[in-house]
Amino acid sequence: MEWRRPPGTNANRARLPGMNDSSNRPRNRLLLALPNRVLTRFMPELEHIRCESDQVLLEADSELDHVFFPHSGVVSVVAVYADGNAIEMATIGREGCSGVQALLGAKISSVRLLVQIPGSAAKISRTAFTRAVESVPSFRTLMYAYVQAFLEQVLVSVACNGAHSLQQRLARWLLMMRDRGDEDTLPITQDILAEMLGARRPSITNAARELERSGLIERGRRQVRIVDRKGLTKASCECYQLVRARVAFHLPKTYL
């Protein structure tokens, strides 16, 4: 089966500042790990979009119509409960995509995709994504490797939530945001931290205060700045380095 762009597909997608105007080349490292000839065929299917803070790219229990490949910023994969509470399961940055469920044949999303740090992304229809997986061996191999890396992150996150202190988990979360966002100043609030880490706001405040007292972070209005990244790594649990190592093993060409 040959992967062809369907008739009527518009190859002239919107371009964003910072993209190469001559080729509209993506900055997502998963896409950039593809052979050039495959990426060239893939690019007409991509629509480049802005991702605003707190934007829901995909809601839980909604049609899984698109797969997203972040160029910059960070997207949280969030589990949503019947009472409205939510907790983060994983994060996606420029090293990955939201296509795990689509790759496994799902047509309905069981999770919410929430933009934590604003940036940009490329999106592709689930139909085109599935067609590429089925017909392009190099893309299929890369996506299977990403599924393994993504599952490693989720599994370690589950274990971490039960094994380590809130302060350690907070340090790990901030480091993961820094890795994917490239900036020491993270535009996040303590309410968001509490929701993502499944903790009460006063507990988050206390944990953040201890990290600040140790000279590792600075808290500001609707932001947290990492002051001492090496020190914050030491304050984190071993899960941070474990996830980095495992993801890098599966995706040596895409991780940080």
146 closest CA partner among 82, 224, 69, 59: 69
**pLDDT score at 253:** 73
According to DSSP H, which parts of the chain are helical?
29-32, 36-42, 100-103, 126-135, 137-163, 166-181, 190-197, 201-213, 229-235, 239-250
- Cα–Cα distances (Å) from 129 to 64, 206, 235, in that order, read 11, 44, 40
Does 22 have pLDDT greater than 80?
no
**pLDDT score at 24:** 67
Does 16 have pLDDT greater than 50?
no
Residue 56, classed as helix, strand or coil, is strand
pTM above 0.95, yes or no: no
Does 25 have pLDDT greater than 90?
no
**pLDDT score at 252:** 84
Does 256 have pLDDT greater than 60?
no
Q: What is the mean pLDDT of residues 205-227?
A: 95
Q: What is the mean pLDDT of residues 78-103?
A: 90
Does 9 have pLDDT greater than 50?
no
Does 87 have pLDDT greater than 90?
no
Tens digits of residue pLDDT in 158-175: 899 888 999 999 999 999
**pLDDT score at 67:** 97
Specify the higher pLDDT residue, 207 or 191. 207
Q: Say how many residues make up the chain.
A: 256
User: Rounded to whole angstroms, how far apart are CA atoms 146 and 196?
Assistant: 23
Instruction: Give residue 99's pLDDT band: very low, low, confident or very high (50, 70, 90).
Output: confident
